[in-house]
Structure 1
Amino acid sequence: MKRILLFGASGFLGRAVVAAFSGSADVVCASRGARDEPGWIRHDLEQDSAAQLASVVRQVHPDAVVNCTGRLDGTTAELVSANVLATARLLDAVSTSDARLVTLGSAGEYGAVPVGHPVAEDAPTEPVAAYGVTKLAATRLVQSAVDGGVDAVSLRVFNPIGAGMPSGTVLGRAASRIREARNSGQDFIELGPLDAYRDFVDVRDVASAIAAAALATEVKEPVLNVGSGSAVRTRDAVALLAEIAGFSGSVREVGAAQARSGAVNWIAADVSRAKLALGWSPRYSLADSIRLIWHEG
C-alpha cells in the first residue's frame, strides 16, 4: 500500500481527499492544527522552515505528497505566500526524493475564455486577479520542475462544492444566509451578482481525481483540468439550493462581483485529458452536491 503525505488534511478539500484514499493508501495527515493522534503531523507550509519541511518528508518517506492548502482571499503578499511560496518549498522538498507531488491549481488561471467552449489545458492563461496570478505562478513552477525531472502534476480545479464548503464561496455563503433567514423569519437573502456561469464540481470528484493522480503508476501530463465539464448559471445553482432547503423567499442580488471572478462571465472545463491520463471522470450531479451542501453543511 502506498504512503501519502497530505497537507491541509483538515480543510474542505483535505477531508474529502482523506476519504478518497480510504482503503487504498496509508495517509499521513499534515496540518497547522494537527490532531493529537496517530497519523497526524503538525506542519505549517507558510510559517515553518524549509528545513522543517524536508525533515517531515524524510520522516514520512511518502510515495506521493498532496497539497490541499492555499488561499482564496487575502492580501497579495498572503496569496503569494500561501499559493506560490508553499508550492516552491514542496518542489524543493520532493526534488531529492522519489515522491510525486500533486498540487492544486485553479480555473482562475485561465481568466476570461470564449463563451460556450470548454477550456483545455493548452488554452491561453490570462488571470484577471491576484488569486489567479498566484495559482498560475505555482502551476508554472510545477511545469518547470517536471521539465527538470521532478515527478509532479498540477490539477486545475474548477469550482469545488459539497458538504462543509467555506462561506467565502457563493454557494457556501448562500447556504449560510438561507439558514440565517430561516432562523430569523426573514423572507429574503442578499448575495452579489449571480449572472456568471461556472463549472461546479463535487468535492468528492475532486478528491477522486487527486487520489488517482497520486496513485497512478505514471502521470504524463503536468497540468490537468478537474471539473464537471459543464457550465451552470450561478443564479440557477442558488435557486436549486433554495429549493432543496425549502426556502421560498427571494434572492436579492446586490453590490458588485468579487474582483477575482467578476471579469469571467462563463467557464467550463474540458476534462478529456484527465480522463485519458488518470482514467477519471466526474460522477456526481449538481443536485447531488447541493443536497450535501444543505444537509451536511
Structure 2
Amino acid sequence: MRVVVLGATGSVGRQVCATYAARGWEVHGVARRPPARPDGHRFTALDLAVAAPERIAEVVGAPPADVVVNAAGGWGDTEEEMSHSHLRLVRRLLDALALVPDGPRLVHLGSVHEYGPVPADTLLREDRPPAPVTPYARIKRETSAAVLDAARAGALEAVVLRAANMTGPHPPQESFLAALLVRIRAALADGGRLKLTVADARRDFVDVRDVARAVFLAGQAPRAGGSVVNIGRGEAVPVGDVVGWLIEASGFPPSRVDRRAADVRSKGGDWTRLDIGQARRLLSWSPQIGLRDSVRSMWRTD
C-alpha cells in the first residue's frame, strides 16, 4: 500500500508520514523543501501551488497511490497569499487527481475555524453551516468545499477532516503556542521575566499524533467517503490552562511570570468545542493522548 503525503515536512505531515510508515505502508512525501533530517521515506521537492497538474499526477500515479493526504498549505499576511498557498494548491491537486486512472482516496485536512465564531457552550456538529469571518478561515472553508464538491460530483473519493487546534510535537511556527515556546526559551536563557497576555477563551485542542491516526483511518474507512468529520477532544479547555501546562513543562519559575488578560484575537472567536461522534462512528476513532501529556511533548520535542 502506498500513500503520498502533501506537506510532508510540516507539523501534521511529518506525523502522518510516521503513522503510515509504522503500519507498513510505502510513504512518499512531497513538500517545497526536503526535511531537515532525512526520515528514510521517498521524497519529492515540489511547490504544489505552482506545479502543473500533470506533474502532480505523475508523483501520485507512478506507482499508483492508494491514498493521498493533503496536509499542505502555507501561511500569509493577506487573503491573496493564503489563497495562493491553499485554494490554488487544492484546485491544482483536484485537476491532477482527475488525470490519475483509478484515483486514490484523498484525505484533506480542514480546520475547526471554518465554522466561524459561535456562542459559548455551542457543540459544533458537521451539519452546522460554516460562517467563517477571517481570511484564513474563509480560505480553509473554500478549500474544503472544493474537495467536497468534487467528491459529491463523483470525480474522486475524498474525506475532509475538520481538525481542532493542535498540540504535541513540532507545532507550526505560525501558531500561538510555537511563539510562546520561543519566548519561554528566551526568558530562560537571559534570566528575565516572562510577560504573557492570555485571552479568556476556551478551545478544543487535540494532539497532532491523534490527528495523524485519524488521517490513517479516514484513508480506508468505507463509509466516510464524501463526508466531513470533526477531529478533536470534544472539550472546551481554557487557553490559560494550556499556557500554564507549557510553562510547567519548561520548568520556568512561576515567580517570574507576569500574566494579564486580553481580548480574544484569533481565527475562530473565543469558544470551540467539536462534536466527535461522527469520528467514532465512521472512523472508529477517538483521542488517545491526554492534553497535558501532549503539551509536555511539545516542549520536549520542539
Coarse TM-score class (shorter-chain normalised)? over 0.9
Please say if residues 274 and 280 of structure 1, whose CA atoms lie closer than 8 Å, have aligned partners that are also in contact: yes
Q: How many pairs does the alignment contain?
A: 293
Q: Which one is further off, 71-80 or 132-141?
A: 71-80
Q: Which one is further off, 112-121 or 216-225?
A: 216-225
Distance in 2, Cα, partners of 1:152 & 1:144: 10
SS for the counterpart of 1:145 is: helix
| Equivalent residue number for residue 115 of structure 2 | 110
Matches within 5 A, 1:144-293: 144-149=149-154, 150-191=156-197, 193-247=198-252, 248=254, 249-253=256-260, 257-258=264-265, 260-261=267-268, 264-293=269-298
Q: CA shift at 1:166, angstroms? A: 2.5
Q: CA shift at 1:147, angstroms? A: 1.2
Over 3 Å counting, the alpha-carbon distance change for 1:95 and 1:218 in structure 2 is: farther
TM-score w.r.t. length of structure 2: 0.91
Cα deviation per residue 1:75-108 (whole Å; 9 max; x = unaligned)? 2111111111111111222234321111111111
Q: CA shift at 1:196, angstroms? A: 1.3
Percent of aligned positions with the same letter in both sequences? 34
Q: CA shift at 1:281, angstroms? A: 0.6
Distance in 2, Cα, partners of 1:106 & 1:72: 14
Please say if residues 94 and 100 of structure 1, whose CA atoms lie closer than 8 Å, have aligned partners that are also in contact: no
Please say if residues 4 and 63 of structure 1, whose CA atoms lie closer than 8 Å, have aligned partners that are also in contact: yes
Distance in 2, Cα, partners of 1:239 & 1:142: 38
Q: CA shift at 1:168, angstroms? A: 2.2
Matches within 5 A, 1:41-56: 41-56=44-59
| Equivalent residue number for residue 5 of structure 2 | 6
SS for the counterpart of 2:94 is: helix
SS for the counterpart of 1:57 is: helix
Distance in 1, Cα, partners of 2:120 & 2:226: 26
Q: CA shift at 1:163, angstroms? A: 1.2
For structure 1, list consecutive stretches of 5 or more residues without a partner in the other structure.
none
Please say if 1:60 is aligned against 2:56.
no
Q: CA shift at 1:270, angstroms? A: 0.6
Over 3 Å counting, the alpha-carbon distance change for 1:281 and 1:38 in structure 2 is: closer
SS for the counterpart of 2:139 is: helix
For structure 2, list consecutive stretches of 5 or more residues without a partner in the other structure.
none
Counterpart among 63, 85, 88 of residue 85 in structure 1: 88
Cα deviation per residue 1:124-172 (whole Å; 9 max; x = unaligned)? 2111201010111111111211111120111111101111112421222
Q: CA shift at 1:254, angstroms? A: 7.5
Cα deviation per residue 1:37-59 (whole Å; 9 max; x = unaligned)? 76111221112222211222222
TM-score w.r.t. length of structure 1: 0.92
Please say if 1:71 is aligned against 2:74.
yes
Distance in 2, Cα, partners of 1:23 & 1:285: 22
Over 3 Å counting, the alpha-carbon distance change for 1:232 and 1:90 in structure 2 is: same
Q: CA shift at 1:214, angstroms? A: 1.3
| Equivalent residue number for residue 100 of structure 1 | 105
Distance in 1, Cα, partners of 2:266 & 2:287: 29
| Equivalent residue number for residue 28 of structure 1 | 28
